[in-house]
Structure 1
């Protein structure tokens, strides 16, 4: 099952590459079929095997010879690994499907925000809609807890957004924290907020120290929310129990 989930992650990762490229440009993710970004030749099935096709073609387009961004196989592998970790944590529990969907959305958000400094409303809406579909059918979190989580997550970042004038974060981050609060509830969304600021601060300073970014460069906050969300989805309750036992 781990292998099957990993392969599923590779396939979903290939689709996420389409989303990452097309959604910020306002293009359809369904049509036209996949094409080379350089010569615009329609890709054949042999060109679309996740990771394998990139390795077989040595990272170059079969038709024009231009390099294919390493981001494509990386996103596919990354999705496969995160899907496998999610399965390792939850096995075939009913919560697995909604959590895999949220994980896929978080991956797309991460790479879009890194490259474009935006979090598309369409992806936040996807997370929002899937929550209602799955919570109505599976009832995996009490509604009161979910709405309180959304209020705390979105509300806290919205207040911060107002006080800072949007410096360091945008309304996309606010909306993302709100919809993730639905999944996590009020206790775990507090943990997510704490982790996101710790991760953002640490890696932000690291990027500055390595001179990858300068003080004038924008550093997206969405990836740190996404990273904190994945950690919280998998280990949030364990972390909170550990902290309470320390007290």
Structure 2
């Protein structure tokens, strides 16, 4: 890949990929909490509607839904989406359905005694969610949300099919222009890895702050070797299992 191809095509494509990822992630996060909380509702009609949404988008291909949004939706309803908006909507709604299961499961992991305490204090459902359940469930949501965010980043490559000039689209154009496949696709792989690594570091920071917010100590960072705990005075490092049991 030549330098002009890199600066004029690939770098703008990286920025478009970041925009699609952030826009889709914001929509997916909103959908995750709305559908996840609705699936925990006491009203059966609310659970039914939220469950239908979850089942439909879980069983639908994100690529097919993206193509439907870009090409079939305008013919059926007369409302045309620009390709980037169609890609963001398709990814956000699809991955939001997966995120709703994370929210629902994390809310159910909150001890029942905590919810009962909120009821005893005459808290409304909204107050219990805001003051008791969500603060305790949020630290449990962050690690699976991190995995879902990485999957979303990799899923943004699908927008190249509807002519969004992301970095996958730019890599394909660079390959066609330079007739060199190896440099273009190797750079594409490295770029996805770098973006995923940066996002993972950011989510680790969010996780540490979320745990600190509810008084949990974050796990200490460990190197390749586990830190050895100092032995009590008088014990030998060579002591085996037989020394603990003694001889009868």
TM-score by length of 1: 0.28
Higher relative CO (Cα under 8 Å, sequence separation at least 6) belongs to: 2
From the CA coordinates, give the structure whose radius of gyration is larger.
2
Q: Quick check: which one's helix share is greater?
A: 2
